[in-house]
Amino acid sequence: MENQEHFRKLERMYASAPINEFYKPNLEISEGEAVLEFAVQKKFFHAAGAIHGSVYFKALDDAAYFAANSLIEDVFVLTSNFNIYLLRPVSSGRIRAVGRVVNQTKKLLIAEAILYDEQGREVARGSGSFMHSQMALTEEIGYC
């Protein structure tokens, strides 16, 4: 059964992170899944006029991370490993990352994410492992 209150609190926690003032993303979380979307901006570009690899990483990691944390209601999870594949450049429009948990054990979650451009083409993909931290999900970190 989905825990909508937990998902909304995670979304608010994400929105309150200072880094997101730069990207202005929209995040929607459901059971074992997260969808992240934001507009491509020139301030994200490398010298060749397309978004820098760090932008791909942020979108993919955030989508996979929140897919994983959607299944953990008491603590903040941590990214312990993340691999990405950059498939094509993006220089305009919006990008959308879809993250899904593909495996869960008592101590580790594995999630994958695919990044799409505005035309729905796959532009990158990644997978990561996520582990429970000792940091409780509290109002002090924006979980409210």
| Domain boundaries of the chain, sorted by first residue | 4-141
* CB contact at 8 A, 59 and 36: yes
Average pLDDT per run of 10 along the chain, which is 144 residues long? 88 97 97 98 97 98 98 96 98 98 96 98 98 96 95
C-alpha triplet 44, 46, 86: angle, nearest 5°: 85
List, in order, residues 6 or more apart from 52 with CB less than 8 Å away.
Answer: 44, 45, 46
Q: Where are the alpha helices (DSSP H) in 49-131?
A: 53-69
Structure tokens given for 16: 């309150």
Per-residue pLDDT at 1: 44
Q: Where are the alpha helices (DSSP H) in 17-97?
A: 20-23, 53-69
* CB contact at 8 A, 52 and 43: no
Task: Write down the CATH superfamily of domain 4-141.
Answer: Hotdog Thioesterase (3.10.129.10)
d(CA 78, CA 38): 23
d(CA 37, CA 63): 9
